[in-house]
C-alpha cells in the first residue's frame, strides 16, 4: 500500500474514533460488563478502606495509598458507564431515573468523586486519621446514589 494512502487511512480512522461519542459502538453486554467492572473496582478499593476505618481490616499506609489512588482514578468513570441508549440493558440494576433525572444523577456522581478525591489525598499523604475521617462521606455518597438510582 502506498505510504500516503496508509497515512490517509490511519488519519481517517483516528478521526472517526475521536469524533465518535464515548462508547457509542458498545454492545449492550459490553456496556454492562464495563459498568459492573467499574463498580467492582470501586467496591474493591473502597471496601477495605471502609473496613480499615471501622477497625475491622488491617491495612498499612502503602496499601491504603494504592487503594486511594485506584478509587480516585476510577471514580470519574462511574458517571460514564450509563451512556444514552443503555437505559434498558438486560441484567442491570440501573433505574430509569439515571436518564430521566440527569442533573440529579450528575450532582450525586460529582459528590462521590469529590469525596473519593478527598479520601485519596489523605491516603496518598499517609494521613491515616484523615483516611478514617474521609471514609464516611464516600460511603454516604455511594448510598445516596444507590438509594435513588439503583434497584435493590
Cell of 77: 468513570
DSSP 39-86: HHHHHHHHHHHHHHHTTSS---HHHHHHHHHHHHHHHHHHTTSS-TT-
Closest distance of CB 54 from ligand ASC, Å? 11
Residues in contact with ligand ASC, total (CB under 6 A)?
A: 7
- Under DSSP, the state recorded for 94 is B
Closest distance of CB 57 from ligand ASC, Å? 11
Residues numbered 92-151 forming contacts with ligand ASC, rule: CB under 6 A:
139, 142-143
CB closer to ligand ASC out of 47 and 91: 47
Report the chain's terminal Cα–Cα distance, integer Å: 56
CB closer to ligand ASC out of 47 and 96: 47
Contact residues for ligand ASC (CB under 6 A)? Answer: 43, 46-47, 50, 139, 142-143
Amino acid at each position: 500500500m502506498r505510504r500516503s494512502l496508509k497515512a490517509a487511512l490511519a488519519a481517517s480512522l483516528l478521526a472517526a474514533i475521536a469524533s465518535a461519542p464515548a462508547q457509542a459502538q458498545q454492545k449492550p453486554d459490553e456496556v454492562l460488563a464495563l459498568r459492573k467492572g467499574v463498580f467492582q473496582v470501586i467496591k474493591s478499593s473502597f471496601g477495605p478502606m471502609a473496613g480499615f476505618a471501622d477497625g475491622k481490616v488491617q491495612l498499612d499506609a502503602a496499601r491504603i495509598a494504592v487503594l486511594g489512588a485506584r478509587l480516585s482514578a476510577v471514580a470519574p468513570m462511574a458517571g460514564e458507564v450509563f451512556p444514552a441508549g443503555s437505559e434498558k440493558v438486560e441484567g442491570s440494576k440501573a433505574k430509569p431515573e439515571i436518564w430521566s433525572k440527569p442533573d440529579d444523577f450528575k450532582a450525586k456522581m460529582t459528590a462521590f468523586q469529590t469525596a473519593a478525591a478527598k479520601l485519596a489525598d489523605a491516603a496518598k499523604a499517609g494521613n491515616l486519621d484523615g483516611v478514617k475521617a474521609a471514609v464516611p462521606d464516600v460511603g454516604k455518597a455511594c448510598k445516596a446514589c444507590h438509594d435513588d438510582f439503583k434497584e435493590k
